[in-house]
With several copies, the nearest count.
Chain A
Amino acid sequence: MISIQHEDFDLNHEYLQLRDCNDGDGAIVTFSGLVRDYNADGSVSGLFLEHYPGMTEKSLMDICVQARAKWPLGQIRIIHRIGQLNANEQIVFVGVTSAHRAAAFSAAEFIMDYLKTQAPIWKQEHSAKGPKWVEAKDSDVTAANKW
């Protein structure tokens, strides 16, 4: 299931859903991304996240289809927040279940790597210097290309 939402999410709720729905899958991997100071100088007070409604959901669905083609997976849950977020808030959640821990780890990392380069979402950093759109990182493209 995929959610693009303004509201915060509750990791425990998502985990319990993954546990309940899983058909004997013994491995559950979660990834949570938090708002951090991308400039590493303590100046970033928050983010604004813009997205392309419709295409975001479509691209994330496509990423799930690709992940399922690569690994035997049970549940996949993706949540991405949009709008105004403060430092240390949760931005993104990916949860994957599988009978095999390697599949669960790989799929969760694959989904994050692809999400970073495929999902039409943009971050704008807010600091004392004013708002600034975050530049795309080459390392994210490299990460996605490894799959």
Chain B
Amino acid sequence: MIKIQFFASLRERLGQAKMNVEYNGELTVEALKQQLLTRGEDWQALSGNNVLCALNQSICKPDTIINDGDEIAFFPPVTGG
């Protein structure tokens, strides 16, 4: 199982902050995103090219491989400070 989190405007557009997904494959982060996009119209929010992804709380590239138990997060560009 992997844990997926969404933040800020992305969280609002998806209507959820987190979800757990059964997982036993060898998906890349990009492939996971493509799977999520098939879930319906709301999920197109993930398709923007400024959507960032973190794996286990570090920013990661689209070709990063996800392992079982990982924590993945999608979010818009940060605006703190």
Answer yes or no: A and B touching, Cβ < 8 Å.
yes
A33/B73 in contact, CB under 8 A: no
B78/A122 in contact, CB under 8 A: yes
B54 → chain A closest CB, angstroms? 6
A92/B57 in contact, CB under 8 A: no
Give a binary string over B59-78; 1 marks a CB under 8 Å from any A CB, 0 the rest.
10000000000000101111
List the interface of chain A (C-beta within 8 A of B).
Answer: 33, 49-52, 54-55, 58-59, 80, 91-92, 112, 115-124, 133-137, 140
B73 → chain A closest CB, angstroms? 6
A90 → chain B closest CB, angstroms? 12
A53 to B44, CA, bound (A): 25
B79/A135 in contact, CB under 8 A: yes
A59 to B54, CA, bound (A): 11
B14 → chain A closest CB, angstroms? 14
A115 to B7, CA, bound (A): 17
B38 → chain A closest CB, angstroms? 25
A138 → chain B closest CB, angstroms? 10
CB neighbours (8 Å) of B75 from chain A are 52, 120, 122
CB-contact partner of B9 in A49, A54, A120, A133, under 8 A: A133
A50/B78 in contact, CB under 8 A: no
A108 to B78, CA, bound (A): 19
Give a binary string over B32-58; 1 marks a CB under 8 Å from any A CB, 0 the rest.
000000000000000000100010011
Show 28 residue pairs from A and B whose CB-CB distance is below 8 angstroms, ordered by the A residue.
Answer: A49-B80, A50-B11, A51-B80, A52-B54, A52-B73, A55-B54, A55-B73, A58-B57, A58-B58, A80-B81, A91-B81, A92-B81, A115-B81, A116-B79, A116-B81, A118-B59, A118-B78, A120-B54, A121-B79, A121-B81, A122-B8, A122-B75, A122-B80, A133-B76, A136-B50, A136-B76, A136-B77, A136-B78
